Amino acid sequence: MKIYIDGKYYSKEEAKVSVFDHGLLYGDGVFEGIRAYNGRVFKLDEHLERLFESMRGIFIEPRWSLEKLRSLVVETVRLNGLKDAYIRLVVTRGYGDLGLDLRKCKVPSLIIIADHISLYPESTYQTGVTLVASHLRRVSHQSLTPNIKSLNYLNNILAKDGAVRAGAGEAVMLNMEGYVTECTGDNIFFLKGGVWYTPPAWAGLLDGVTRRVAIELIGKELKMPVKEELFTLFHLYQAEEIFLTGTAAEILPAVKIDGRVIGTGKPGPRTQQLVGHFRDLTRKTGVPVYETAGSAK
């Protein structure tokens, strides 16, 4: 494995950051997870644009253009000989001191990892995942907007651990007002009365790239409406179908929440159709890895 760090490639064993990097010390940085399918990087520009938005949100001045990052991502996948991959871009505040003053960090650091990922076995997509409501509330957007995809995921990690300890696959997180926002690493949709619902991006959730793709496919391929509006756990309890979306999880059916069976207790037919359309899209579109001439330096 070859990992890119600030202009050079290192083996997995040699890839290191300073203990004075503020990404390590304080979670001061941002990241993106991106997928490559069949030798093509899916929705690369959308992910890079969101990365730049996150950087602007925490006052990191990018040292790289979008075009430069695009070429580096493609090169990293190519150098690792991967056709199907999970790509992690990390931008940290960089080397500083033990204080919080971001002015002490003069140069941000860039890390690119291309590897494989499997959050759930393929069988889970056939049987569906079980959900529980987390007792932890999503960090308020009044404190830190979730649309900044920061390196500090402790809120999500603890909620995920609560789900695992409860024997579930994922946790549903509410905002401070008690409305559903998202799961620990995924956005959430539910079907009721011929309409799909998902929380609006301003409600305290990360506006996922896969979320946007799902909204587009529901309208284009399923010919069904999507409403972005606030709802509570009670609405999820009445759902006919539920699915989650995320770069790593893709489109994942859910079949139970807080002990309540969703629909028939199996992945719903509309969700299954959507999974098929999504997988077809990922096989056919994206930035080619092995047809790109040249090399990023």
First to last CA, the chain: 18
Q: Could you give the CA distance from residue 140 to residue 203 in angstroms, rounded to a whole number?
A: 9
- Which of helix, strand or coil describes residue 262? coil
* Burial of residue 8, with CB atoms counted within 10 A of its CB: 0-12 exposed, 13-18 middle, 19 or more buried: exposed
Q: Could you give the CA distance from residue 189 to residue 23 in angstroms, rounded to a whole number?
A: 32
Q: Which of 43, 149, 160, 256 is catalytic?
A: 149
Active site residue 192: no
Of residues 162, 119, 164, 168, the one with CA closest to residue 137: 162
Of residues 224, 214, 289, the one with CA closest to residue 249: 214
Q: Could you give the CA distance from residue 260 to residue 5 in angstroms, rounded to a whole number?
A: 46
**What is the distance, to the nearest Å, from the Cα of residue 34 to the centroid of all Cα atoms in its chain?**
8
How far from 54 is each of 28, 60, 62, 145, CA to CA, in Å? 11, 9, 11, 10
The residue type at 168: A
How far from 178 is each of 138, 157, 186, CA to CA, in Å? 10, 20, 18
Q: Which two structure tokens, joined as six digits, stand for 153?
A: 């995921």
Q: Could you give the CA distance from residue 186 to residue 196 in angstroms, rounded to a whole number?
A: 16
Instruction: Identify the DSSP state of 28.
Output: -
What are the catalytic residues?
149
